[in-house]
Structure 1
Amino acid sequence: MSLSTHVLDTTLGRPASGVPVALERLGDGGWTEVASALTDADGRISGWNPGPGRHRLRFDVPSSFFPEVTIVFDIADEKEHFHIPLLLSNYGYTTYRGS
């Protein structure tokens, strides 16, 4: 099981590099950070292996109207790869499960 993300700035038409991203897992005591990184020059982070359960990606994007974007998702099948892109614009964002 692996997880990757890709942040694209659709206003500028290029990858968003240097974006802080935290991966968190929900447990009995609430949310716990299990990994964090900055997006690379291509706006990507890969190689995370969070395991099954409820998770969230928290993107710190202070240059937009939404200073933080949080995406919550469930992982049931450990054998699958999960790719969760974030497309940013000045006043909105879009996400989806990619491949």
Structure 2
Amino acid sequence: MSGYLTTHVLDTARGRPAAGLEVELFRLADGERRLLKATKTNADGRTDEPLLEGERFARGTYELVFHLGGHFGEAGFLDEVPVRFTVERPEEHYHVPLLVSPYSYTTYRGS
């Protein structure tokens, strides 16, 4: 069984998924930050497919960058939210949800 990486963004200020949000995935290794994928969230606040899966999903340090800049318009305070995490067991499902409002965010390892 191979693992995979997913995300889900919820707009807690409006009580709905954050649709159309740009998300970038980077791998950090040997002092370099390499872009692996750039995508957008769908109407459900999720990406249409896993961000990374199979053999490409390996142990290591990754960073998701959520581009909130235009999502909240002038009411927004946050521009980009980086979430850096380590994958120790790439055979598992790693889910990184983000709960956002114009002035704060929360993340955790989901299921």
Normalized against structure 2, the TM-score is what?
0.85
Give the CA deviation at 1:4. 0.4
CA distance in 2, matches of 1:90, 1:78: 33
* Correspondence for 1:86: 98
CA distance in 2, matches of 1:29, 1:93: 27
Percent identity reads 45
Give the CA deviation at 1:56. 0.5
- RMSD (Å) for aligned C-alpha atoms: 1.0
CA distance in 2, matches of 1:78, 1:91: 33
CA distance in 2, matches of 1:29, 1:58: 18
Max Rg structure: 2
Bigger helix fraction: 2
Give the CA deviation at 1:36. 1.3
Give the CA deviation at 1:28. 1.6
Unaligned runs of 5+ in 1: none
* Correspondence for 1:66: 78
* Correspondence for 2:58: 51
Unaligned runs of 5+ in 2: none
1:44 counterpart SS class = coil
* Correspondence for 2:6: 4
CA distance in 2, matches of 1:56, 1:97: 13
After the TM superposition, which parts of structure 1 deviate over 6 Å for at least 4 consecutive aligned residues?
A: none
**Counterpart of 2:88 in structure 1: which amino acid?**
A
